[in-house]
């Protein structure tokens, strides 16, 4: 079930960056970022109203946890700029490879308060195959 959901996430990311890249071409970088995030805010607010979810902050939240929004803006900028020059497939493939590398470090060392999952050296085979695929895609 979760593997299928993860594949759906990948598909949705490709759709999202395609839309965002086209929006960039129509209104420019700053306006596209503003539109993307305002529409996202409206969408989640609508879902929360429908589900009758109330905002409830339990205790003190470390300030660094709010930086996800800044990372989201950086991610959106990176996606909409790179899609223009290298296309959806390569942008997505390189993005997934970057996720794979960094998430393996987060898992292995337990960065950012995450549970540790030891790195399995067999993963290097998969990393290598993906890396070779990326080289082929960029040539």
Residue-wise pLDDT for 86-114, tens only, equals 999 999 899 989 999 999 999 999 988 88
Summarize the confidence of residues 32-50 as an average pLDDT.
Answer: 96
- Enumerate residues 6+ apart whose C-beta is below 8 A from 111: 105
Mean pLDDT of the chain: 92
pLDDT confidence of 43, banded at 50, 70, 90? very high
Tokens matching residue 57? 């902050």
Q: What is the pLDDT of residue 66?
A: 87
Q: What is the pLDDT of residue 10?
A: 85
Contact 18, 83 (CB under 8 A): yes
For 57-85, what is each residue's pLDDT tens digit?
888 888 888 899 999 999 999 999 999 89
Q: Is the pTM of this model over 0.85?
A: no
- Between CA 32 and CA 27 the distance in angstroms is 6
> What's 59's DSSP letter?
S
CA separation, residue 98 to residues 14, 23, 31, 101, 105 (Å): 15, 24, 27, 5, 11
Q: What is the pLDDT of residue 2?
A: 87
Of the chain, the end-to-end C-alpha distance in Å amounts to: 35
Q: What is the pLDDT of residue 27?
A: 97
């Amino acid at each position: 079930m979760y593997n299928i959901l993860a594949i759906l996430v990948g598909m949705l990311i490709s759709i999202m960056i395609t839309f965002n890249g086209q929006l960039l071409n129509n209104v420019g970088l700053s306006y596209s970022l503003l539109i993307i995030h305002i529409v996202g805010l409206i969408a989640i607010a609508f879902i929360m109203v429908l589900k009758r979810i109330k905002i409830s902050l339990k205790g003190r939240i470390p300030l660094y946890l709010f930086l996800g929004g800044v990372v989201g803006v950086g991610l959106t900028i990176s996606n909409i700029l790179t899609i223009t020059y290298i296309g959806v497939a390569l942008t997505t493939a390189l993005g997934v490879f970057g996720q794979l590398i960094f998430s393996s470090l987060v898992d292995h060392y337990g960065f950012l308060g995450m549970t540790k999952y030891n790195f399995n050296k067999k993963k290097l085979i998969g990393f290598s195959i993906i890396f070779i695929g990326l080289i082929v895609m960029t040539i």
